[in-house]
Structure 1
Amino acid sequence: MVVEGQETPMSELGGAYGRNRDVNRLEALYERYRSGSTVVLNSLERRWEPLRLLTSAMSAEVNARFQVNVYLTPPGQARGFNPHYDTHDVIILQAHGTKRWRLYGAPYALPLESQKYEHSRDVPEVEQEIDLRPGSLLYLPRGTIHAPTSTDTASLHLTIGIHPVLVPGVLQDAVRQVIDEDERFRTGLPIGFANDKELQRRTEETLAELVEVLAARLSPQEMTAKSLKRAISISQPELRGHLTDLENLPQLGPGTTVRRRPGLRWGMTLTEDLVELEFHNKTVQLPIHVADEVRYVTESGESGFTAASITGGLDQPGCLVLVQTLVREGFLTCG
């Protein structure tokens, strides 16, 4: 529940009802709603299939993670949040009623998650007022200050947050790897350097050397390759029916029909010794001699196949072990 920027989680509602707190939490929610609070349902794509399908398709197209929050605001100029900006791009989808959006521009370009909006700062002048009605869509770039209010009817809208792979994260991960691998980047500055001009000069020389080493060690190609792996698995894993697959794994035979999980984002990389299959934000490594069989499995898609139908040089028991492995890891599903 949110009103004028003050948030109250559901776990804290119902306190006035004594021992029946859990039972009467819904009544406590409605009491807040009747008094002007907005009901916020966070990450609804994790619990409602239509939104999961929507965000999965968008993620595959854009290579970003999507989160959907739903906001139900009562009528009568009610406002959940005070003017603020988000540290990610958002798409607003108006589903019911009308909501008035006041937009104040983006005085601070591309804020990061660590650069939250400071409510103590002066709010700039309103640049636009837009009324969203059912079916309306509004795109707000990261950093756009906004403040929506309801009108004479209740308002229900979806906020789709867009979380791409950001350059700062790519660079920070690469620098962290260098720091972990090279002890020179983990040393302290000379003791007493703040009191000694000569130590300060040597500190500058040492840091200059490390900057040169860092520039030489950072590889744009390697950073891009790692970003690609991250983009492939940026969405929430889809593991519907996986518990049943694991339970039935001992009965999986050469003639059992399996298929790649619907909507699965994956990538395959070949090294000198290994086949690396990336999905669900992990890497499954297989010996290089099964590359043809793995390629068959991945290219067969969601149409369905059996271990006995896999082509390549691997014998049937080996193909069965490959299928069992990929079912156990969640790449394949039965039926």
Structure 2
Amino acid sequence: MHADQRGPEFRSALGRLISIPERAFSDEVWGRTPLLTRASELDRTFEDLLTPADVDELVSHRGVRTPFARMAKDGALLDKSEFTSSAGFGAEMPDQLDSSAVLSAFADGHTLVLQGLHRLWPPLIDFTRDLVDDLGHPSQVNAYITPAASTGFSPHYDVHDVFVLQISGEKRWMIHPPVHTHPLSNQPWSDRREAVEKQASNTPYLDTVLTPGDVLYLPRGWIHSAEALGDTTIHLTIGVASFNDYDIAHRVLGALQDDARIREPLPAGLDLTDPDATAPHVDRVLDNVAAALERIRSDPEARRSIADELAARLVAITRPAPVDPLRTVAFIASLDAASLVTWRQGLSPRITRSNGRVHVGLRDKTISLPDECADALDDLRSGQPRRVADMRGLDPDSALVVAKRLLREGIIVPSE
């Protein structure tokens, strides 16, 4: 939703999760320290995102398949054959949730995990899309449904930041400081199992019970475990795969492949098992890398190329807001000068101009339009709804043609 459409009671997706100002969260908390926010601080719940009845619907009526679901007990995963089966005639895929099998496993103390709900459940699709816009980092959502007095997973850390949203019931969380700060995606907790277990045996940094509407933020690397108290509990874990300095460094080093000196082979006959023999070559490469890095630093285009690679990576692993094909086709059929359209939320194309054309680079294709469309595209990208007649730089007939093309390509959408 564009800022001009937000009423006085509006809270951004991130604003619903924290009680402190978003700038303070970014500057003082993000990636640094846990943050516990009680429901009473914001007078809110998350019933609009997921309820126990919604969980029953997902399990029993939505044909959810693995790997969008898993079950675990005391840190051990249950084989999927124990809670999935074929759905019968017309839906013979063998890995769909079997509601009665899920019931049996759940009653036996297994936690049910519904994964990727940002792709399955409409309220969470919209909420996660808004949160990605707020944070600037890819996000995803899992739901954990835990039987009373049960523990689904042993102490561990995640390689992404998490927001834990308590939906129903009560759950005790024990939080310990990292044994490996800011772990990368290829540095899972299982590689440091002994250190994690030892740290988890110490006095917790935080030992708290979450009740409905509470939110716990944990930076990646913080060790945590949880235990359901009393009745069945449900919580959402929003995982945020934050980009980091290593992502930039990785792409900077990738740019070095354009330097012929760095691609040069080591001498034939070199004894790579002799550190004294390889040391001079290490020094030489370090000198060449330093020189290449300095060239990149002094070249605005090279630095821009690295930034473009990060942007392309973000676009590749996030999805813009979904479109409604049938509604859009009907909208196009009745399109006129008074029709309202808006930029598709989360769509971040690369727009360039050359040879009298403006090019809109999408994930899987590039759309080329006459150069006079550039101003209209700039206006639409602001996110504000626009009448077709108000598409700047285009006469009425051209505006209709361009609007239809942009709608058909999923670049703009009907404005509600």
| Same fold (TM > 0.5) | yes
Instruction: Note if contact 2:162-2:220 (Cα within 8 Å) is conserved in structure 1.
Output: yes
Distance, in Å, in 1 between the alignment partners of 2:219 and 2:115 is 20
Distance, in Å, in 1 between the alignment partners of 2:329 and 2:237 is 36
Counterpart residue number, 2:269: 192
1:239 counterpart SS class: coil
1:169–1:259: structure 2 CA closer, same or farther, 3 Å change rule? same
Distance, in Å, in 2 between the alignment partners of 1:183 and 1:41 is 49
- Which of residues 29, 48, 54 in structure 1 aligns to 2:102? 29
1:129–1:289: structure 2 CA closer, same or farther, 3 Å change rule? same
Please show how residues 170-319 of structure 1 align to structure 2 within 5 Å: 170-179=248-257, 181-194=258-271, 201-202=280-281, 204-206=283-285, 208-217=287-296, 219-224=302-307, 226-227=309-310, 235-242=318-325, 245=328, 251=333, 255=337, 257-261=339-343, 263-266=345-348, 275=358, 277=360, 284=367, 286=369, 288-299=371-382, 301-306=383-388, 308-312=389-393, 314-316=394-396, 318-319=398-399
Instruction: Note if contact 2:178-2:223 (Cα within 8 Å) is conserved in structure 1.
Output: yes
Instruction: Note if contact 1:233-1:278 (Cα within 8 Å) is conserved in structure 2.
Output: no
Deviation track 1:96-119 (CA, whole Å, cap 9, x = no partner) reads 111111112212110011000026
Amino acid at match of 1:143: G
| Greater mean deviation of Cα atoms: 266-275 or 45-54 | 266-275
2:144 counterpart SS class: strand
Counterpart residue number, 1:41: 114
The alignment of Structure 1 onto Structure 2 pairs a total of residues equal to: 326
Deviation, 1:59, is: 1.6
Identity of aligned residues (%): 27
Counterpart residue number, 1:74: 147
Distance, in Å, in 2 between the alignment partners of 1:24 and 1:234 is 27
Instruction: Note if contact 2:148-2:232 (Cα within 8 Å) is conserved in structure 1.
Output: yes
Counterpart residue number, 1:114: 186
Deviation track 1:135-167 (CA, whole Å, cap 9, x = no partner) reads 221111111111101122211111111222222
1:200–1:164: structure 2 CA closer, same or farther, 3 Å change rule? closer
1:244–1:168: structure 2 CA closer, same or farther, 3 Å change rule? same
Counterpart residue number, 2:177: 105
Amino acid at match of 2:342: R
RMSD: 3.6
Amino acid at match of 2:105: R
Distance, in Å, in 2 between the alignment partners of 1:245 and 1:309 is 20
Instruction: Note if contact 1:103-1:126 (Cα within 8 Å) is conserved in structure 2.
Output: no
1:131 equivalenced with 2:213 (yes/no):
no
Instruction: Note if contact 1:256-1:334 (Cα within 8 Å) is conserved in structure 2.
Output: no
Counterpart residue number, 1:331: 411
Deviation, 1:172, is: 1.8
1:281–1:161: structure 2 CA closer, same or farther, 3 Å change rule? farther
Deviation, 1:191, is: 2.9
Deviation, 1:286, is: 4.4
Counterpart residue number, 2:10: none
Instruction: Note if contact 2:315-2:348 (Cα within 8 Å) is conserved in structure 1.
Output: yes
Amino acid at match of 2:178: A
Distance, in Å, in 1 between the alignment partners of 2:97 and 2:412 is 44
1:153 counterpart SS class: strand
Structure 1 gap ranges (5+): none
Distance, in Å, in 1 between the alignment partners of 2:244 and 2:122 is 28
1:94–1:139: structure 2 CA closer, same or farther, 3 Å change rule? same
1:54–1:253: structure 2 CA closer, same or farther, 3 Å change rule? closer
1:86–1:157: structure 2 CA closer, same or farther, 3 Å change rule? same
1:59–1:33: structure 2 CA closer, same or farther, 3 Å change rule? same
1:259 counterpart SS class: strand
TM-score, length basis structure 2:
0.66
Deviation, 1:92, is: 0.9
Deviation, 1:6, is: 1.8
Distance, in Å, in 2 between the alignment partners of 1:267 and 1:103 is 40
Distance, in Å, in 2 between the alignment partners of 1:282 and 1:56 is 22
Amino acid at match of 1:310: M
